[in-house]
């Protein structure tokens, strides 16, 4: 029996077959889960095409996490494919380039607000929208890039990730009574489409492999996807409000 046998999951953020979310969806299916994907706008058709590359083609529902209408309709749209949810993966993040790449001091509030809404507040929005489908409890898992540090070029996206990390702890507090666990996976740098859109991203991955006791491959999302799958499973029944590092061990090393 697979690690996620019988689980019904919503996975956001599948854009290409190189994205972490794609590999989470693939592993989840291989481990016995039924998966629903979400997408919106111009990305929707791309997500549908990528969904056909999974072991079993997954349905794709419309979800823009900044749209009140989409959030209100989430339960109904997911309900067309599964009768409940056991887990949700939040793989959503965006910041305008004007607030990254060395532009921290020049950042304007409108662009910073966009980064915070999409990258952090959306975790709460998604949790609230999915909660009616999680009547038997379950697991919410988000993705972050360790926001305890000021990284080169990450700038206001780093601040947004810090907000995401604290949001996860408050969600863990408020959803715990409903037996819903909330955890994050902090991944090392991976060359996803989102990462490559960050100006100067190469400076973040530089020397990571050399600093990691376990080594690190910036082109391999599999270790991160495995951690997400594990947190979606029943093997962490009393773990919530946690951030699991999957970065080869860099987080624990001195400079």
The response to whether 161 counts as a known ligand-binding position is: yes
Ramachandran angles phi, psi of 109, nearest 5°: -60, -40
Catalytic residue among 161, 170, 196, 238: 161
Separation between Cα atoms, residue 74 and residue 76, nearest integer Å: 5
Of 82, 60, 72, 98, the C-alpha closest to 197 is 98
The response to whether 19 counts as a known ligand-binding position is: yes
b/e string for 89-111 if b means 16 or more Cβ within 10 A?
bbbbbbbbebbbbebbeebeeeb
Separation between Cα atoms, residue 174 and residue 181, nearest integer Å: 10
The response to whether 86 counts as a known ligand-binding position is: no
Ramachandran angles phi, psi of 192, nearest 5°: -85, 170
Catalytic residue among 8, 124, 154, 170: 154
The response to whether 111 counts as a known ligand-binding position is: no
The response to whether 118 counts as a known ligand-binding position is: no
* 238 is a catalytic site residue: no
Kindly calculate the radius of gyration of the chain based on its CA atoms and give it in whole angstroms.
17
| N-term to C-term CA, the chain | 43
* 161 is a catalytic site residue: yes
The response to whether 66 counts as a known ligand-binding position is: no
The response to whether 244 counts as a known ligand-binding position is: no
The response to whether 114 counts as a known ligand-binding position is: no
The response to whether 64 counts as a known ligand-binding position is: yes
**Sequence ranges of the binding site for substrate:** 95
Active centre residues (catalytic): 154, 161
**Sequence ranges of the binding site for NAD(+):** 13, 19-20, 64-65, 92, 161, 190-194
**Sequence ranges of the binding site:** 13, 19-20, 64-65, 92, 95, 161, 190-194
């Amino acid at each position: 029996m697979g690690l996620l046998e019988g689980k019904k999951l919503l996975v956001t953020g599948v854009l290409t077959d190189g994205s972490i979310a794609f590999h989470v969806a693939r592993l989840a299916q291989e481990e016995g889960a039924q998966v629903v994907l979400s997408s919106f706008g111009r990305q929707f058709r791309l997500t549908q095409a990528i969904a056909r590359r999974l072991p079993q083609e997954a349905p794709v529902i419309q979800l823009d996490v900044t749209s009140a209408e989409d959030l209100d309709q989430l339960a109904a749209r997911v309900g067309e494919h599964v009768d409940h949810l056991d887990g949700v993966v939040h793989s959503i993040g965006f910041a305008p380039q004007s607030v990254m790449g060395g532009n921290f001091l020049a950042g304007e509030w409108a662009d910073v607000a966009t980064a915070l809404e999409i990258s952090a507040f959306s975790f709460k929005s998604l949790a609230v929208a999915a909660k009616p489908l999680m009547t038997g409890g379950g697991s919410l898992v988000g993705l972050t890039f360790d926001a305890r540090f000021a990284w080169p070029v990450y700038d206001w996206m780093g601040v947004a990730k810090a907000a995401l990390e604290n949001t996860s702890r408050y969600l863990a507090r408020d959803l715990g009574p409903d037996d819903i666990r909330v955890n994050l996976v902090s991944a090392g740098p991976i060359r996803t489409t989102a990462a490559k859109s960050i100006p100067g991203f190469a400076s973040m991955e530089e020397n990571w492999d050399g600093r990691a006791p376990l080594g690190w491959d910036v082109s391999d999302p599999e270790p991160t996807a495995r951690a997400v799958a594990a947190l979606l499973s029943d093997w962490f029944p009393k773990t919530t409000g946690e951030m699991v590092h999957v970065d080869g061990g860099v987080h624990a090393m001195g400079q």
